Structure 1
């Protein structure tokens, strides 16, 4: 499972960007941001050289570095399966600021919207390896309040709950070496606004110090900085069941053929063809999860 040419990665990202049912995420285990949009939500391409989209509620912008490696996989669970494409960088190339205290970074010069490029960016100091979780502030009073907290280890001191309430009225910006997601301050209740950009910080998960969930088959020496989540064959964007969509299923199968682990892809094909899995290939956690996912797909295909 080796990375294809940069043009192949670029084509994958652009194809998924065109599908409003595909969601995008950046982050680490316990902290992240998601860019998603409703199927009929207005969205426009970026005005600069970056690839991405902008809506009234948030934005996604990325470049395609030569060492970016997609890793496609499926994970089976009790009542279905998930599908993802992790966007990975080599361990030596993924590091971000890794700040452990609230830190003012200066103006957000790379902001997607030109009017946001004079606003101040503050790193929350979560100490993440491959992502910086930040707040963006334009209001002088709020800048002053954050500056008063600067230099404090918010996670260790237990201030995250206070800051989370404060952050709900601010833009949240998640940055990696190749991408950013911007979650704009909500003017309405996010729960009433449909599918859209969102962010989360889970201190109990962050304390584990993981870059990704143990169920993700990330090759040794690589670190997932984000992921794309293509349209699911059996669930809508909210996770609700839908009639099985063979077109979506075939489409992700083609993504797996190019960007998945060949051994896991072979197991999937065998299960979908009604065959028993190869006992040699079927060993290990990732193989078991792939088999469980394929069996769930067979059940969904026959209704």
Structure 2
């Protein structure tokens, strides 16, 4: 067996696991996990000591101590709530032109097969939530049309796609695809967002959007203009899916530290503090988009700041 075949087999056997909060079932589907960029480049505002003082638990799932690279995951959260199947963020996708992101450029993976192992067929998905419109959150919104180059259609033909209106404006053509700062932003919108609009499946929302009795979307701007979080409240259980509000657990310890991808630093830090305050007060399980390891963690107040509590029951992979 070739190294490539062994790698593909390992990916196909990667764990997909599930927990239940109240009446909502949550499954984690990891598209990719590994070393990404230098940790201090990913969260440049974090003090060097925040990394070094916590190496014992940051490694190996959040930090490679020998290389200094941050370890992250690309993952989708599959929620079953009120008889519906809901996807939270859709990863990178296959066959995308992403010249500014070598890790994502023309990537090929087995994400549909991983969904299928959960018993989720494309036609079964009722709602797709894009917490924001960065390329690693919208890629599987669409799939290519066989035999047609650069032709994309919604991957989930029966789904309603919930898209933050502010992000749609910022990254859309009327604003020059994010003011033309990155060529990838135009490519992302054209292959992963515009086809959803053309199919009539996009729903733009602002402020607060209630999905069902358990799930509510709320704006949390800063990382992008429309960056959002999804709150879960069912029985006594609480969780908040925070997208890219946090890229690394060090941002819980130092919540004013933004990632290098945050567009409005002050606004992002304010949103992060607000969400962490509420998560600690209401005992919400914090579910970021990119945490490796167990993927989700409780947060608590400690000495005027925040500390990590218990990790969720997901397999660390």
TM-score range with shorter-chain normalisation? under 0.3
Structure having the higher Rg: 1
The TM-score with structure 2 as length reference comes to: 0.26
The TM-score with structure 1 as length reference comes to: 0.27
